Homo-oligomer: A and B are copies of this chain.
């Protein structure tokens, strides 16, 4: 259908991802036209400093993003990132009936309700596959392929920087600080690594995943978030001694109590068995496990970031949006009908690994065990090893609420026979 009116695309932002979007759009123009049923044409690229973008056609560059959005374009692709001006620009686009493709996880994790309402108001499409796990097709499977199933759990590694650092600490035994420095030097961590290492990036992604998986509006503020800055070499060593490794996990769980359902959405480091498929996901790769009632367990694995992989996801969405414009119809709308409450972390059952330095004498284990029993925290496994003048005691618990575990650990730390609480960390994956 080469006679079809071209689909005109406004690109907002032209960093690593935007540059790749331009490259793919122009390099594959004939293929894209055949797949869409009409040519897909780049109408303009909004950037802050046009003279910094010599790799894209100069006549397409503009500094006036709002005017570009308001011009005669059919689709707006946003790869600026951050809340503003992206939010205003995309709301303007959607309200004007222009479809939007965005890779902006922070914006979606905060303002998806507003954006979805704007899209529904005008009938425009809102696609955002690139916002989570880069090139890995994950959001489309969640919101379309599994739309007839009941998803119970999504658990994955969705941040490459923290995964690179934890992989590094695991293989070298180095401290968090040393490894972060190395990651920054190699370009795996940004100069200000806060968004990554404090878990903000993963929390945004967890909010998006949970929203789609549970048909419930989940925002970043609903996500319990712990970063990796407090993961010590001792934690890593303790994990290793148990055949485990430490990963920063994003976990979205459906929790059922009686006939009450809620969702627990959290980001925290956790020990997982080395035999777990997520344990083998190293460096900048991402992987996500999904469990659903009928489908069972699934895993999705691939490159979680980077210009070309993210651009691949953007282009897939762009083809979908453009096809809808050519064929008529719309992509899936926001599905938040279930409206499940977010479960506070204090009430969420998880398992814990606790490693203690204790005095090496009779009765220590019984004192420690008594504290667990007192707080109703059931012990799954214990390992005690004598050393020269003290002993190492490792306890892995069954699932208990965070609140119960916290008070248990506080009390144990105060026992005279306990010299040091060496490592306290959540445990995920198979039962030990």
Residues of A within 8 A of B (CB): 20, 24, 28, 31-32, 34-35, 129, 135-137, 140-141, 144-150, 215, 277, 280, 292-303, 308-309, 311-320, 323-324, 327-330, 332-333, 335, 337-338
Residues of B within 8 A of A300 (CB): 298-301
Task: With both chains docked as a complex, state the minimum distance between the C-beta of A23 and any C-beta of chain B, in angstroms.
Answer: 9
Residues of B close to A298: CB separation below 8 A: 135-137, 300-303
* Shortest distance between the CB of A33 and any CB in chain B (Å): 9
Contact status A303-B296, CB under 8 Å:
yes
- This chain: copies in complex: 2
CB closest chain-B residue, reference A145: B137
Q: B144 touching A140 by the CB < 8 A rule? A: yes
B31 with A150: CB separation less than 8 A: yes
Which B residues are in CB contact (< 8 Å) with A308?
293-296
- What residue in chain B is nearest A303 (Cβ atoms)? B296
> With A141-B140, A145-B137 in contact, is A311–B294 under 8 Å at CB?
yes
Q: A312–B141 Cα gap in the complex (Å)?
A: 12
CB of B309 within 8 A of CB of A303, answer no
Closest to A134 in B: B295
Q: Can you offer 23 A-B residue contacts whose CB atoms are under 8 A? A: A24-B149, A34-B335, A34-B338, A35-B335, A135-B298, A136-B298, A137-B145, A137-B298, A147-B315, A147-B319, A147-B320, A148-B314, A148-B315, A149-B315, A149-B316, A277-B301, A293-B308, A295-B312, A296-B308, A296-B309, A298-B302, A298-B303, A300-B301
State the Cβ distance, A78 to closest chain B Cβ, in Å: 16
> Which single residue of chain B is at the shortest CB-CB distance from A302?
B298
Are the CB atoms of A294 and B312 closer together than 8 Å? Answer: yes
Determine the chain B residues whose CB is within 8 A of the CB of A333 once the complex forms.
327
Closest to A330 in B: B327
CB pair B215–A35 under 8 Å, yes or no, is yes
**Neighbouring B residues of A318 by C-beta, 8 Å:** 148
| Residue on B nearest A314 in the bound complex, by CB | B148
Of chain B, the residue at the smallest CB distance from A28 is B150
A137, A140, A215 — which one has the most chain B CB atoms within 10 A of its CB? A137
Across-interface contacts of A303 in B (CB, < 8 A): 295-298
Q: Which residue of B lies closest to A142 (CB)?
A: B137
- Whether the Cβ atoms of B299 and A302 lie closer than 8 Å is yes
Bound complex: CA A308 to CA B20 (Å)? 40
Q: How far is the CA of A313 from the CA of B298 in the complex (A)?
A: 12
A299–B338 Cα gap in the complex (Å)?
Answer: 31
- Distance of A144 Cα from B297 Cα, bound (Å): 22
Question: With a CB–CB cut-off of 8 A, which chain B residues contact A319?
Answer: 144, 147-148
Q: By the criterion CB–CB under 8 Å, are B144 and A320 in contact?
A: yes
Residues of chain B within 8 A of A150, CB atoms compared: 28, 31
Residue of B nearest to A287 (CB): B299
Q: Is the CB of A297 within 8 A of B302?
A: yes
A329's nearest neighbour on chain B, judged by CB, is B329
Q: Which residues of B contact A135 (CB under 8 A)?
A: 292, 294-296, 298
CA distance A309 to B294 in the complex (A): 5
Residue from A135, A146, A313, A324 having most chain B Cβ neighbours under 10 A = A135
Extra pairs beyond A148-B319, A277-B280, A298-B303 (10, CB < 8 Å): A20-B294, A24-B149, A135-B292, A135-B296, A137-B137, A145-B316, A147-B315, A295-B302, A295-B308, A296-B308
Chain B residues whose CB sits within 8 angstroms of the CB of A34 once the complex forms: 215, 335, 337-338
A141 and B296 CA atoms in complex are apart in Å by: 19
A320 proximity list for chain B (CB < 8 A) = 144, 147
Is A312 in contact with B28, judged by CB distance below 8 angstroms? no
Q: In the complex, what residues of B have CB within 8 A of residue A317's CB?
A: 148
- What 5 A-B pairs come out closest when comparing CB atoms? A329-B329, A148-B315, A137-B145, A137-B141, A135-B295
Residues of B within 8 A of A140 (CB): 137, 140-141, 144-145
Contacts of A144 in B (CB 8 A): 137, 140, 316, 319-320
Residue in chain B with minimal CB distance to A148: B315
Selected contact of A323 from candidates B316, B327, B332, CB within 8 Å: B332
Residue of chain B at shortest CB distance from A320: B144
Q: A323-B332, A330-B329 are in contact. Are A148 and B28 (CB under 8 A)?
A: yes
